[in-house]
C-alpha cells in the first residue's frame, strides 16, 4: 500500500475512534497525579482554576463560532460513519483555518492539560494530539480534494490547516444559530468542568490530608452544580422538545 493511501486509511480509522482519544489523556493524567509529578497547582488556587477554565472555554468559543454558522450538508458536519460534504464550507471560521473544530478541541484540552501541573505533560500530549489529528486531517482533506477538486485546492492555498495566519473573516451565508450551538455543545461544556474538578480532587486525594468529604473544594462543588444544571436542562430540551431544533441545521 502506498504511503499516501496508508495515511488516508489510518486517518479514517482514527476519525471513527476519535471519541476514545480522551481516554488516553485521562490515563496519563492519572499517572502524573498518582506519582506526584504535578509540579504546579498541588493545592487549590482559584486563579489557576479560572485561567484553565478560560483556556478551555476559549476552545469552546472557537467550536461555537464554527458550529453556529455551519449549515447542514457542509464539510463541517462529518459523522462517525465517515466523511460527509455536499458543499465545501469556506466561510466563517473556515475562512481562518481549514480545521477550526480541531483547533477548538485543542484549546479545550489545553486548559485541562495545564491544570494537571506538569509542563512536560502539556508538551507531550500536545505532540500526541497533533500526530493523532494530523492523520485525521489528512484523510478529510483527501476526501474534500477528491470531491471538490480545484475549488478545494484554491481554498487550501490561502487558508492554513490549523493555526490562523490572519483574521480576515469572511461572513457566512447563514445567520449564527445559538440554538444549534446549545444543542450540539453541551456535552463538551460539561466535560470541561468535570475534568478540571476530577483533577483537583485527585490532587487533594494524593497529596493532602483532607477527609474524603473535603477532597472536592467548594469552588468545584459550585461550578459542577451550575454546569450540571446547564447540562441537564439542555439535554432535556434536546431529547424531549424541539426548542433547540433549527431547520436546515
184 three-state secondary structure: helix
Domain that holds residue 64: 3-176
Q: What is the domain-level CATH number for residue 42?
A: 1.20.120.1630
- Give, for 180, the enclosing helix (H) or strand (E): helix 178-207
Cα 232 from Cα 229, distance rounded (Å): 5
Residue 80 lies in a domain: yes
166 three-state secondary structure: coil
Residue 247 lies in a domain: no
Cα 187 from Cα 230, distance rounded (Å): 10
Residue 244 lies in a domain: no
The per-residue pLDDT string of the chain (249 residues; one tens digit each, 9 = 90 and over) reads 566 777 778 877 777 777 777 888 899 999 999 998 998 998 899 999 999 999 999 999 999 999 999 877 665 555 555 556 678 889 999 999 999 999 999 999 999 999 999 999 999 999 999 988 999 999 889 888 888 999 999 999 999 999 999 889 999 988 999 999 999 999 999 999 999 999 999 998 887 655 655 789 999 999 999 999 999 999 999 999 999 988 877
Q: Which of 188, 192, 186, 199 is nearest to 231 (CA)?
A: 186
Cα 236 from Cα 37, distance rounded (Å): 40
Domain count, the chain: 1
Cα 210 from Cα 164, distance rounded (Å): 45
Amino acid at each position: 500500500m502506498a504511503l499516501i493511501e496508508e495515511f488516508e486509511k489510518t486517518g479514517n480509522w482514527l476519525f471513527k475512534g476519535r471519541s476514545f482519544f480522551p481516554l488516553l489523556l485521562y490515563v496519563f493524567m492519572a499517572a502524573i497525579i498518582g506519582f506526584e509529578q504535578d509540579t504546579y497547582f498541588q493545592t487549590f488556587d482559584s486563579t489557576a482554576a479560572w485561567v484553565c477554565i478560560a483556556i478551555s472555554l476559549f476552545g469552546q468559543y472557537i467550536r461555537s463560532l464554527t458550529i453556529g454558522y455551519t449549515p447542514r450538508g457542509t464539510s463541517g458536519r462529518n459523522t462517525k460513519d465517515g466523511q460527509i460534504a455536499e458543499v465545501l464550507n469556506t466561510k466563517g471560521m473556515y475562512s481562518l483555518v481549514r480545521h477550526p473544530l480541531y483547533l477548538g478541541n485543542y484549546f479545550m484540552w489545553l486548559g485541562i492539560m495545564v491544570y494537571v501541573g506538569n509542563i512536560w505533560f502539556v508538551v507531550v500530549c500536545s505532540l500526541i494530539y497533533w500526530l493523532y489529528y494530523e492523520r485525521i486531517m489528512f484523510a478529510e482533506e483527501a476526501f474534500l480534494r477528491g470531491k471538490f477538486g480545484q475549488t478545494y485546492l484554491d481554498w487550501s492555498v490561502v487558508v492554513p490547516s490549523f493555526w490562523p495566519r490572519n483574521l480576515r473573516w469572511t461572513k457566512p451565508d447563514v445567520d449564527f444559530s445559538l440554538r444549534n450551538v446549545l444543542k450540539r455543545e453541551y456535552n463538551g461544556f460539561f466535560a470541561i468542568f468535570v475534568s478540571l474538578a476530577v483533577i483537583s480532587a485527585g490532587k487533594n486525594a494524593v497529596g493532602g490530608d483532607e477527609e474524603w468529604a473535603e477532597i472536592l473544594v467548594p469552588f468545584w462543588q459550585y461550578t459542577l452544580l451550575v454546569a450540571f444544571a446547564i447540562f441537564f436542562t439542555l439535554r432535556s430540551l434536546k431529547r424531549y422538545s424541539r426548542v433547540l431544533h433549527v431547520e436546515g441545521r
